Amino acid sequence: MIRLATELNCSNIFAGLLINRGITTAAKANVFLNPGLDQLKDPFSLKDMDQAVQRIWAAVRNQEKILIFGDFDADGVTATCLLNDFFTHLNADITWYIPHRTKEGYSLQPTHIQLALEMDVDLIITVDCGSSSHEAVALANNEDIDVIITDHHEVNAPYPESIAMVNPKRPDCPSGLNYLAGVGVAFYLAIALRKYLREQRLFEELPEPNLLNFSDLVALGTIGDMVPLVNENRVLCKAGLNIIRNGSRPGIKALSSVSRINYQNIDSDDISFKIVPRINAAGRMSHARICVNHLSSVLPANAQETALVLDQLNLKRQQVEKNIVEAIEHRIAKSPELLDKSTLVLWDDAWEASVLGIAASKLVRKYAKPVILISTASEPAMGSGRSLEGLNILDALTSCTDHLTRFGGHSMAAGLSLDADKLEAFTADFETRVQELTREADLTRTLAIDRVLDMEDITMSLAVEVDQLRPFGVGNPEPLFISRNIRVLSSTIIGTNHRKMVLQDTASPAGRKVDAFHFNLSDPDNQPQLYDQVAYRIKINKFTMKSPQIILEDL
C-alpha cells in the first residue's frame, strides 16, 4: 500500500481503497483513474456485428424504412434515442417505437410486426430487447421484414431467426462485453457502423458523426440499468458525465433543473436517484415515448416543458409506490410470520404493476430477502422481483417455469406473469428453490467497510481523492468508512426525517469538526448525541466545493 501510494503520489488511505478494488499496481490505477475511449474493445468482437452492419448499410443506401424498437425503461429509451439520432444524421429513413408497459408488455411481439407492416417497414432493429422474441421474428420473416436484435439480457440457444443478434450475453459471443447495458450495445453498433461507413466512403458526402456526443445517453442508460460500472462501462459513463456537464443536450439540462441539480456538477448519484426515476416514471405512469422526444429535443423551451411533465409523473409514481409499501408493511405487521420464510411473495388486485419493482427494491433493502410483488388486477397477473447479491433470481425463476406464462430480466431484477390460480403453487416452489440455491449468509444484509478512520482523516484532499473513483455503482461501490466514539456537537432536523449534524471525536475536544447528514430517519425525534461507531461515505460539499462532508449509513 505504501509503495502504491508513493508511486501515485496519493494518501495511504486512497491507495488502500484502490487495493480493495483489486487495483494493485500504478499501471492499473492509471487506467482506472484515467479512462479513455481508446480503452474500448473492437465492436466487431461482438457476435453477428458484421451481419448487422452490412444489412443496415444496405438499408441506409437504398432508403429502406428502418424501425428502432426499444424498451420502456431508461436503458431502452436512451438506446432508442441514440440510434434514432445517429440514423437521422445519416439521412436514413428512420422511425422508432416504444411499447406501452402495461398494454403491450415487454419486447417485440407479433402485434408489433403487424404495426410494422402498416408502416411499410423493411428493417426492425431492437434495442434492449428481442432476444426471446421467437414468434415475432418468425412472423417478420414471413412478411419479408428483416430483424436485427441488439440486447443484453440473458439468452440461450435456440435464438430467434433474425438477420443478426448482437447480444454479449449469448454464450457464443467472444467479446467479453457481457456487462454492457442495452444502450452500451447500441453504442457499439454505432461505432461499428461508423467504421464500416467510413470504409464505404459515405463521409465524403456528409459530416462524420461525433459519437462522443452520444455518450451522455450511454451514461444515463448504463447507470440507470444498474449494470457493473467497470471497464468499458466506466469509460463510457465517465465520458458521458463530462458531456452532460457541458449542458449540450437540452433534455438532460432541463431534467437537471427540475431535479434541482447543478448539471455542471452532476454525478452518478444524481443520475441514479433523480434523473433516471423521472425518465422511468413516464413508462410507469404514462408512456415512455415522452422521454425519447424529450431527450431528442433541440429546443430548450420544449425540453423544459416536458421536464416539468416528467417531474409531475415522478411525484405521482412516488405516491403510488408509497401507498403500496405502506400496505405491505401493514400486512406484515398483522402477519409477522410472513417474514419467517427466505422469500417474500405477495399479491393484490389494487396494486399498480408498473411500480412494483421499485417497491420490491425497498423491501429487499429492509428485509434482506428476495421479494416478488404481483398485481392481480389483470389476467395474467403481472409482477416484479428483486434480489440480493447472493441469489440470481433468474436461476430461481427458471425452476418455476411450470407456473409462469412469461419471465425475464437480470440476476438481480426480473419481471414475470402467471395465471392467478397458480400463485400459491408458485410461491411455494419459489421458496423451495431459493432455499436450495442459498445459504443463510447469502441472504444477510452486510456492509463492506473499506477502512476505519478518525475524524482528523476526513480532509478535503481525501474527499477529492475519493471523488476520483467515480462513477460509483454496481461493481464499483462508493467507499464506506467507520469511525468510533463520535459526539454530536450540533444537530438540526431538516424536512421531516433528515438530520444535519456537526461531528467530532470524543477523544479530541479541539479536533476536526465534520459536517454530516443522516437521511430518511425512522425516528427523527430520538437520535443519539454520542455514537459508539458510525458508518459513512465521504463527499465533496456540492454547495461550497471547498469542504468535505459525510453521509451516515444505518448500521
Q: Are residues 282 and 71 in contact, defined by beta-carbon separation less than 8 angstroms?
A: no
How many CB atoms lie under 10 A from the CB of residue 144? 8
Same domain, 58 and 207: yes
Same domain, 472 and 348: no
Pick the last residue of a domain from 380, 408, 443. Answer: 443
Q: Are residues 386 and 364 in contact, defined by beta-carbon separation less than 8 angstroms?
A: yes
Q: Are residues 97 and 70 in contact, defined by beta-carbon separation less than 8 angstroms?
A: yes
Give residue 333's pLDDT: 95
Element containing residue 492 per DSSP (H, E): strand 481-494
Please list the rounded mean pLDDT of every run of 10 residues in the chain (555 residues): 88 94 93 92 98 98 97 96 97 96 89 96 97 96 97 92 97 96 98 96 92 96 92 96 96 96 92 95 94 95 96 96 96 95 96 93 92 94 91 91 88 90 96 89 77 95 95 90 95 92 89 92 88 94 86 84
CATH number, residue 401: 3.10.310.30
Give the total residue count for the chain: 555
Cα three-residue angle 135-133-399, rounded to 5 degrees:
105
CATH number, residue 515: 2.40.50
Same domain, 392 and 486: no
Pick the last residue of a domain from 443, 466, 498. Answer: 443
Residue 237 falls inside a structural domain = no
Pick the last residue of a domain from 214, 235, 265. Answer: 214
For 430-439, b where at least 16 C-beta lie within 10 A, e where not — what string?
bbebbeebbe
Residue 459 falls inside a structural domain = yes
Q: Which three cell numbers stand for residue 555?
A: 448500521
Q: Are residues 54 and 197 in contact, defined by beta-carbon separation less than 8 angstroms?
A: no
Domain count across the chain: 4
Domain residues for the domain of 420 are: 335-443
Residue 524 CB contacts under 8 Å (≥ 6 apart), including other chains: 493, 496, 497, 498, 499
Sequence-ordered alpha helix ranges (H) in 154-275: 182-199, 215-224, 231-245, 250-258, 268-270
Q: Are residues 182 and 75 in contact, defined by beta-carbon separation less than 8 angstroms?
A: yes
Same domain, 435 and 481: no
Q: Which three cell numbers stand for residue 230?
A: 467497470
Q: Which three cell numbers stand for residue 152?
A: 443484453
Looking up cell 494493485, which residue turns up? 24
Residue 157 falls inside a structural domain = yes
Residue 506 falls inside a structural domain = yes
Torsion angles phi and psi, residue 539, rounded to 5: -135, 160
How many CB atoms lie under 10 A from the CB of residue 421? 10
Looking up cell 413516464, which residue turns up? 282
Same domain, 207 and 103: yes
Residue 503 falls inside a structural domain = yes
Same domain, 383 and 510: no
Same domain, 119 and 193: yes
Same domain, 363 and 467: no
Give residue 474's pLDDT: 83
Please indicate, yes or no, whether the overall pTM of this predicted structure exceeds 0.85.
Answer: yes
Q: Which three cell numbers stand for residue 390?
A: 447472493
Distance CA 193, CA 166 (A): 13
Same domain, 18 and 118: no
Residue 243 falls inside a structural domain = no
Give residue 441's pLDDT: 67
Nearest Cα neighbor of 129 from 409, 413, 417, 381 is 409
Sign of the alpha-carbon dihedral angle for 200, 206, 212, 215: negative
Same domain, 376 and 485: no
Same domain, 344 and 432: yes
Q: Are residues 524 and 497 in contact, defined by beta-carbon separation less than 8 angstroms?
A: yes
CATH number, residue 92: 3.90.1640.30
Please state whether the peptide bond connecting residue 43 to the residue before it is cis, i.e. omega within 30 degrees of 0. no
Give residue 555's pLDDT: 62
Distance CA 71, CA 67 (A): 13
